[in-house]
Amino acid sequence: MQPAYIFDLDGTLVDTAPDLLSATNAVLHQAGRPAIEPDGLRAMVGMGARALILKAFAATGEPLAETDLAPHFERFLTYYRAHIAAQSRPFPGVEATLKTLRGQARLGVLTNKPQGLADVLLRELGLEHYFHAIHGAGRLDVTKPDPRVFHHVMEELGEAAAPAIMIGDSATDVATARAAGVPVILVDYGYTQTPAQELGADAVISDFRRVPPLAAALLG
């Protein structure tokens, strides 16, 4: 039975902040709001596009009521889908590590990015073939940190009872792993307002290439 490695996407595998920033600022511009700077955006990513838009509006003026979110969300999706891989790139060491792991483990992606966008991004960057399962928002009626999404990925991997580990960048990923009863590694270069070292992960890394030996140690 191969172990399962479940990866977050934005801020863990891929630096998507530049294109998310462009889409967010396009929405803010149409609403007459000031733009957000890159450093400000990185602390807003992680809970999906709807949460990102709400945070962006709250940071630039009067908060947006959730009942008024729909047109801004659709505008965001339209812009982002058209520019999804314009500047987004895998973080250093990611592809080499995935190549190493591909024959040693079952690999999955678990993200709060909408399923269609996750599929397009991974395909555009030539990463999708590394993964045996890709789970984005919309496939179930819950998202991370609900453990049901983690277990759904495990079922799709065909390794529901296999040793598993979560690799992410945020408190959401730690909460997901804890709820699912698995260890978690965080990267320290991702999208989180609170430093990764303070989020209670089993290990924190600066170099993605450390994932295989650390995961092997944590899985025993």
Q: How far is residue 27's CA from residue 44's CA, in Å, rounded to a whole number?
A: 15
> Known catalytic residues?
8
Same-domain pairing of 189 and 136: yes
Same-domain pairing of 133 and 57: no
Same-domain pairing of 166 and 58: no
Q: How confident is the model at residue 128 (pLDDT cuts 50, 70, 90)?
A: very high
Residue 139: how many other CB atoms lie within 10 Å: 16
Q: How far is residue 138's CA from residue 50's CA, in Å, rounded to a whole number?
A: 12
Same-domain pairing of 78 and 92: no
Same-domain pairing of 94 and 155: yes
Same-domain pairing of 138 and 189: yes
Same-domain pairing of 150 and 212: yes
- Structural domain total, the chain: 2
Q: Decide if 54 contacts 61 (C-beta within 8 A).
A: no
Q: Which domain holds residue 77?
A: 17-82
Same-domain pairing of 64 and 145: no
**Where is the domain boundary, 51, 82, 113?**
82
**pLDDT one-digit tens code per residue, 134-190:** 999 999 999 999 999 999 999 999 977 889 999 999 999 999 999 999 999 999 999
Question: What CATH number is attached to the domain comprising 211?
Answer: 3.40.50.1000
**pLDDT one-digit tens code per residue, 183-216:** 999 999 998 889 999 999 999 999 999 999 999 9
